[in-house]
Amino acid sequence: MILTNVQEVKIVNLCKKFRIELIKCLHTVGSGHPGGSLSATEIITTLYFHELNVNPKNPNDPDRDRFILSKGHAAPMLYLNLAEKGYFDKSELSNLRQMNHMLQGHPCAKTTPGIDLSTGPLGLGISAAVGMAIAGKLDKKGYNVYVLIGDGETQEGIVWEAAMAASKYKLDNLIVILDHNKVQLDGTIDEIMPLGDINAKWESFGWKVIETNGHNIRDISSALEEAKRAKGRPTIIIAETVKGKGISFMEGKNIWHGKPIDDEHFNLAMKELSGGN
């Protein structure tokens, strides 16, 4: 599907709004993961507002596209998208991570409409996605399975088990997007556990590899179009991103992976995010 200028502007504005709401939300509840939500903002929003064939009124439609947030800690950005789409009331957002409410710290398919898979323990999402994609093939359904994984997440062995399986079963209905923000909880990827040549790794596992700018709506959208043209093999889109994108003091800083936002930083962040308006 071609991205029109109108759609592009709409998604850019949504991303702007989601960043503000994200910071408000995490500041209010005093926990959650800002860094990885901010790097994934454009990717998740482009998926929900341009790419995915889903219907909030029929969240379990067997023909729908699937989306798995394998890097489950970016849950707040997923919730903002789901609420905007109408899967649940926006008032739920202020009860993120709170007892007796639906929005769990990591996505839970049992409690939250629109979640295709419970995630959190890294690496599991891509493995389950392989199963979903095989089911789609067996049932001759036209849906695609989209998975967003973190770069640090690929340090988990199961990611490569799943990568081998997706290649063996020629899952061209599986599209993985790698949020390449280069930072993990304890430091940069290069400090903690370098990933080496990411493209070469995935290519050698039999995947089609596409590179894109993970903060540019038009680039993300054309990468997705290209991914869907793959035949007989799965695709990974390596999306170049910045952890903490949009808030200068968070950008590229591992301490903002899961740090609560105090009043001082909240005010600074809000000033920056609203400045562009």
By CB under 8 A, name the binding residues for other proteins.
62, 66, 108-110, 116-118, 120-121, 124, 126-136, 138-139, 157-158, 161-162, 164-165, 169
Q: For other proteins, give the closer residue by CB, 63 or 203.
A: 63
Q: For other proteins, give the closer residue by CB, 118 or 254.
A: 118
The answer to whether the beta carbons of residues 77 and 41 sit under 8 Å apart is yes
Q: How far is Cα 85 from Cα 210, in angstroms, rounded to an integer?
A: 28
Residues paired with 178 in a beta bridge: 149, 238
Least distance in Å: CB of 270 to other proteins?
A: 35
By C-alpha distance, which of 206, 72, 65 is closest to 146?
65
Strands 183-184 vs 187-188: parallel, antiparallel or unpaired: antiparallel
Residue found by looking up tokens 């993120």 in the block? 96
3-state secondary structure of 95: helix
Q: For other proteins, give the closer residue by CB, 140 or 229.
A: 140
Q: For other proteins, give the closer residue by CB, 105 or 252.
A: 105
Least distance in Å: CB of 64 to other proteins?
A: 11
Least distance in Å: CB of 158 to other proteins?
A: 5
Least distance in Å: CB of 238 to other proteins?
A: 22
Q: For other proteins, give the closer residue by CB, 26 or 130.
A: 130
Element (H, E) at 149: strand 145-150
Q: For other proteins, give the closer residue by CB, 22 or 129.
A: 129
Q: How far is Cα 109 from Cα 263, in angstroms, rounded to an integer?
A: 32
Q: How far is Cα 62 from Cα 225, in angstroms, rounded to an integer?
A: 22
Helix intervals (H) in 117-171:
124-138, 157-168
Least distance in Å: CB of 107 to other proteins?
A: 10
Q: For other proteins, give the closer residue by CB, 158 or 270.
A: 158
Q: For other proteins, give the closer residue by CB, 46 or 119.
A: 119
Least distance in Å: CB of 234 to other proteins?
A: 13
Least distance in Å: CB of 264 to other proteins?
A: 36
Helix intervals (H) in the chain:
5-29, 34-39, 41-46, 75-85, 124-138, 157-168, 189-192, 198-204, 217-228, 263-275
Least distance in Å: CB of 88 to other proteins?
A: 18
Q: What does residue 240 show for φ and ψ, rounded to 5 degrees?
A: -75, 120
Q: How far is Cα 137 from Cα 101, in angstroms, rounded to an integer?
A: 36
